[in-house]
Amino acid sequence: MTSLCAPCTQVRWLLTTLHELYLLPWDDSVYLDSPLSDFGLEQCKELRAFLRKPCHDPLTQEDFNALTNGESHSLVVSSQLRRAASTTAIALSDRFQRSKESIVLVSHLQEISRNFDTLALAPFSSTPPMEPTLDFLAPSATFDGSANLGNKTFSFTGLKRLQAFADWAADRPESTIIVGGHSLWFRNFFALYLPKSSTHVAKKKKIINCGVVGFTLQVGRDRQTGLPKYLINESSIASVYGGFATK
């Protein structure tokens, strides 16, 4: 029987998901790595507008500050799929205009699905071609492909990607990681690292389109094996914007 040491590290995560309706452009891949639809772009702009206003919820004030003005202690990462990267770039465009930081594309975050539109265009250590709308919606956004290992493989399963990202994030020095990603990936991450006894809605429901949810990931070591172990503190889950679907 294994046991978990008292957590030695706590990392605050902020998740933002994206719209699942995709544009099918004439001059791009119809199936692979589909960009955001016009409706999805509007939802990104609505999230950006929300972040431009003062936060009136004391329970989410710290997370709100990390999103809008937290570049000194937070890191912004995204799946290498274009719709996740675009969502992150547009929603936080005001921050990037000031900070000049890049969005780190981490391939461990690639969506958990067999659909063609979850296959990445960006090869190893590179960034995908982004839609021209970013030139005026997020002109200061730049992308760092150094953590992009390329498209997912059959052997690098969804479960392995969840575990690999937890390992990757735990090794980062930042106290907060802002993650732009995908609804199925997030739901599976919650199901994996929330306590088995937990009945939290995050295990069964997706984060809504462009919703933002924060939580604390506790990092410890197994006393017997010395391997890292992860646990999401259920009481730390907070909906900053939108939250979880009700259906």
Could you tell me what percent of the chain has a pLDDT over 90? 68
Please state, in angstroms and rounded to a whole number, the distance separating the CA atoms of residues 12 and 14. Answer: 7
- pLDDT tier for residue 20 given thresholds of 50, 70 and 90: very low
What are the structural domain ranges in the chain?
31-221
Residues 193/207, Cβ–Cβ less than 8 Å: no
User: Can you count the helices (H) and strands (E) in the chain?
Assistant: 7, 8
Strand partners, 229: 220
- pLDDT tier for residue 199 given thresholds of 50, 70 and 90: very high
Mean pLDDT taken over the chain: 87
Q: What is the mean pLDDT of residues 163-186?
A: 95
* pLDDT for residue 7 is more than 50: no
pLDDT at 23: 37
> Could you give the angle at the alpha carbon of 44 between the alpha carbons of 38 and 49, nearest 5°?
125
pLDDT at 21: 38
For 35-81, the DSSP string reads: -B-HHHHHHHHHHHHHHHSPP--TTTHHHHHHHHH-TTTEEEEE-SS
- pLDDT tier for residue 75 given thresholds of 50, 70 and 90: very high
Give whichever of 120-124, 126-130, 143-147 has the largest mean pLDDT. Answer: 143-147
Report pLDDT digits (tens) over 218-228.
Answer: 999 888 898 99
* pLDDT for residue 5 is more than 80: no
pLDDT at 52: 98
Predicted TM-score (pTM) of this structure: 0.87
- pLDDT tier for residue 119 given thresholds of 50, 70 and 90: confident
Please state, in angstroms and rounded to a whole number, the distance separating the CA atoms of residues 81 and 184. Answer: 14
* pLDDT for residue 92 is more than 90: yes
Cβ neighbours for 168, distance < 8 A, ≥ 6 positions apart? 106, 108, 147
Please state which of the ranges 52-66, 78-92, 112-126, 154-168 shows the lowest mean pLDDT. Answer: 112-126
Q: Which CATH number does the domain 31-221 belong to among 1.10.3470, 1.10.530, 3.40.50, 3.90.1170? A: 3.40.50
* Nearest-10 Cα torsion for 187, 12, 172, 174: 150
Report pLDDT digits (tens) over 24-64.
Answer: 333 345 467 788 889 999 999 999 999 999 999 999 999 99
